[in-house]
Amino acid sequence: MIDVHNITKRYGHHTAIDRVTFSVAKGEVLAFLGPNGAGKTTTMRILTCFMPATEGHARVAGFDCTDQPLEVKRQIGYLPETPPVYQELTVTEYLTFVGRLRGMTGQNLTAGLDQAIGKLELGSVRHRLIGNLSRGYRQRVGLAQALLHDPPVLILDEPTVGLDPKQIIEIRELIKSLAGSHSVILSTHILPEATAVCQRVVIINKGRIVAEDTPEQLSARLRQSEKVSITLKTIPPDCDMKLRAIPGILNVLPGQAGGSFLLECELGRDLRDEIARLVVSSNWGLLELRTISMTLEDVFLQLTRHEDHLTEPAEAMVGTSAERTDA
Amino acid sequence: MTPVQAVIAKELRGYFVSPIVYVVGAVFLLIFGLLSYLYVGFAGAQAIQLMQMQGGVAQINLNDLVFRNLFASVRIVLLIILPILTMRLFAEERKLRTFEFLLTSPIRITDIIVGKFVSVLLIYLGLLGFTILVPTVLMLFSDFDWNPIWTGYLGMVLLGALFLSVGVFASALTENQIVAAFVSFGMLLTIWLIAGLGSLFGDTTAGHIISYVSYMEHYDHLVRGLIDTSDLVYFGSGLVLMLFLTHRVVESTRWK
């Protein structure tokens, strides 16, 4: 549905995005993750034909962003960083205006309007001036605008900014419900959002894609060892030694709470059974045993913060994702 | 409703929700009324003078004494007031970040510009409509030729449209409305003064060319009751040129 091939955008000497390549399949929800200034908005602006790329090409629903901008724009619902609302219009007037710009008329427009207002629960404010609405409502009006003409592609730049926790969950549910029928790209720097909503994550830093995969795969790949956390009722002096004696255990570290330990195991080995057996047979009182998976947050920080020792795995990942796309 | 009509409707709504139209309209009509009152007053005084000198009832020409002066003075009022009407058109969109939304909507830039221009032109025509009251009221008390008045109105429409197109262009240049108003004011005043530069050259080819660039001479013809194709071409081409330049400016923001 969306194909981005080697796009580069330069502002003078500053390179905002550098040879970015990715694609989104029909019905897929893709998260665009990255710190501020990483190039997320620039990429989205190129896809929505707001600005052309310096190099490379992007296609949306088979139309080229540079050569067929009007066709591309018809396929897209776009929510920019700041909700693009006119304060002097009421919600209904605004959405009617948006619909007409997109060539909607009569029944079509009324139906789309009612649906968008229903989906975003704007019914109670539909006749109020947007200028008098709160930040959260404006954001929802902005989202309603993007959904109005039921476009096959949605590009949402930080869709949950300014919403309260309950609304955030509702909007995430809404985006999830769009998967399957719509292709969605959403940018965010809230990591749980990406895990909650998206099937695939692209991590971008300083204008370059540093990783691309499912959230689970990403954390699995960056993990250097399996980690198991246990909590014991009693702490015998020799438990450290006995735990280390289990084949495959690499390290035993004291945990945060009293009686808890963090065990590092060889990658790809599940030693929970052996650990449990040892603890139970030694009668240490097993209160808790769980594997610790790396959260997307850890992955993100590793990929974007410590660039020095990360160039290797990062490049390896881009390599694998490129292979995957080729295949 | 086509996308252009949608833009026009939205802009008109924006004008009437904000106080701009009411304030600008009130000031314009007040000054127009005052000027009319003054010129009628002068004409009356002149008539009394003539009567005292010649005796009997003096025939005064309202076309010459009132309307020509009135239409000539309106130029400066339009020069000051119309930039205020146009300043928000693009500058506000940029400031409120709705510009990106417009440019990512499936509508051509030309349609956006035409929509905005037509909306402000309609507002101006509405204001001008009110001023017809002045000749209508005068008609009750005196006799004059309506033809030069119609050409004068044609002149005001064309001159106003040209001023508005300059204003639209200036508004596209910046996100600051004050700057937009000031730039269009400066441009209009400069084009006005070019007429003076032309007269410095006297009756030479250069003089004629320079004078042609200014709207003064073209407007004067219409106010005097003269409809010349070259004047119509001047206003038409000036307007199209300004809107074309606006298109270039809007288009260029995408490349920055």
State yes or no: pLDDT of A293 exceeds 80: no
Residues of B in contact with A105 (CB under 8 A): 1
The reply to whether A60 touches chain B by the CB within 8 Å rule is no
Q: Which residue has the tokens 């002068």?
A: B42
- Residue B156 within a domain: yes
Residues 192 through 251 of chain B touching chain A, CB cutoff 8 Å:
none
pLDDT in tens, A297-315: 777 776 776 544 444 444 4
Encode burial over B89-123: b for 16+ CB neighbours within 10 A, e otherwise: bbbbbbebebbbbbbbbbbebebbbbbbbbbbbeb
Distance CA B61, CA B68 (A): 10
- Residue B187 within a domain: yes
Q: For B14, which of A86, A103, A105 is closest by C-beta distance?
A: A86
Closest CA to B135 of B25, B36, B220: B36
- Within 8 A by CB and 6+ apart from A50, the residues are B100, B103, B104, B254
Closest CA to A87 of B120, B22, B97, B90: B97
- Within 8 A by CB and 6+ apart from B54, the residues are none
Number of domains in chain B: 1
State whether B6 and A101 contact (CB < 8 Å).
yes
Distance CA A266, CA A256 (A): 22
DSSP B22-46: HHHHHHHHHHHHHHHHHHHHHHHHH
Q: In angstroms, what separates the C-alpha of A77 from chain B's closest C-alpha?
A: 9
DSSP at A24: E
Distance CA A136, CA A144 (A): 12
pLDDT in tens, A132-147: 998 888 999 999 999 9
State whether A98 and B105 contact (CB < 8 Å).
yes
State whether B7 and A101 contact (CB < 8 Å).
yes
Q: Which residue has the tokens 């080229």?
A: A64
ipTM of the predicted structure? Answer: 0.86
Closest CA to A18 of A212, A211, A188, A204: A204
Q: In angstroms, what separates the C-alpha of A70 from chain B's closest C-alpha?
A: 5
Specify the pLDDT at position B116: 96
A:B CB pairs within 8 Å: 73
Distance CA A96, CA A154 (A): 19
State whether A103 and B106 contact (CB < 8 Å).
yes
C-alpha A262: how far from chain center: 29
Q: Where are the domains of chain A?
A: 2-218, 224-292
pLDDT in tens, A163-208: 888 888 888 888 888 888 899 999 887 777 888 888 888 888 888 8
DSSP A125-137: GTTSBGGGS-HHH
The reply to whether B3 touches chain A by the CB within 8 Å rule is yes
Distance CA B138, CA A209 (A): 75
Please write down the long-range contacts of A105-110, taking CB distance under 8 Å and 24 or more positions apart. Answer: A105/B1
Distances (CA, A) of A321 to A214, A327, B6, B223: 11, 10, 45, 73
Q: In angstroms, what separates the C-alpha of B82 from chain A's closest C-alpha?
A: 21
Residues 70 through 109 of chain B touching chain A, CB cutoff 8 Å:
96-98, 100-108
pLDDT in tens, B80-100: 999 999 999 999 999 988 999
Closest CA to A154 of A208, A116, A114, A211: A116
Distance CA B114, CA B116 (A): 6
Residues of B in contact with A101 (CB under 8 A): 3, 6-7, 102, 105-107
- Residue B53 within a domain: no
Specify the pLDDT at position B143: 82
Specify the pLDDT at position A316: 38
Task: Return the biggest CA–CA distance within chain A.
Answer: 79
CA of B107: which chain A residue's CA is closest?
Answer: A101
Helix, strand, coil percentages (3-state) for chain B, rounded to 5, are 85, 0, 15
Closest CA to A33 of A210, A295, A160: A210
Which of the listed CATH numbers 3.40.50.300, 3.40.190.10, 3.30.450.20, 3.40.640.10 matches domain A2-218?
A: 3.40.50.300
Phi/psi for B2 (5° steps) reads -80, 165
Residues of A in contact with B18 (CB under 8 A): 88
Q: In angstroms, what separates the C-alpha of A45 from chain B's closest C-alpha?
A: 9
Q: Which domain holds residue B98?
A: 3-21+72-253
Determine contact, residues A294/A192, Cβ cutoff 8 Å. no
Specify the pLDDT at position B39: 92
- Residue B26 within a domain: no
Signed CA dihedral, A29, A30, A34, A39: sign only? negative
| Run of H or E residues at A95 | helix A91-101
Q: State the burial class of residue A130 (Cβ atoms within 10 Å of its Cβ: 0-12, 13-18, 19+).
A: buried
> What does the block give as tokens for A274?
């052996």
pLDDT in tens, B142-164: 888 889 999 999 999 999 999 99
What top-level class would CATH report for the domain A224-292? alpha beta
- Residue B166 within a domain: yes
Encode burial over B180-203: b for 16+ CB neighbours within 10 A, e otherwise: bbebbbebbeebeebbeebeeeee
| Cα first-last separation, chain A | 17
pLDDT in tens, A39-94: 888 999 999 999 889 999 899 998 998 889 899 999 999 999 889 999 889 999 99
pLDDT in tens, A254-284: 877 778 888 888 877 788 888 888 888 888 8
Distance CA B16, CA B172 (A): 21
Distances (CA, A) of B20 to A227, B25, B26, B87, B168: 66, 8, 10, 10, 16
Residue type at B177 in one-letter notation: Q
Q: For B100, which of A50, A74, A85 is closest by C-beta distance?
A: A50
Q: In angstroms, what separates the C-alpha of B157 from chain A's closest C-alpha?
A: 28
Q: Three-class SS of residue B169?
A: helix
Identify which has the larger pLDDT, B49 or A293: B49
Q: For A74, which of B103, B106, B255 is closest by C-beta distance?
A: B106
The reply to whether A97 touches chain B by the CB within 8 Å rule is yes
- Residue B9 within a domain: yes
pLDDT in tens, A103-133: 898 899 999 999 999 988 899 999 999 999 9
Does the global pTM surpass 0.90? no
Q: Which residue has the tokens 């959230």?
A: A215
- Residue B43 within a domain: no
Q: In angstroms, what separates the C-alpha of A107 from chain B's closest C-alpha?
A: 13
- Residue B64 within a domain: no
pLDDT-based confidence at A213, cuts 50/70/90?
A: confident
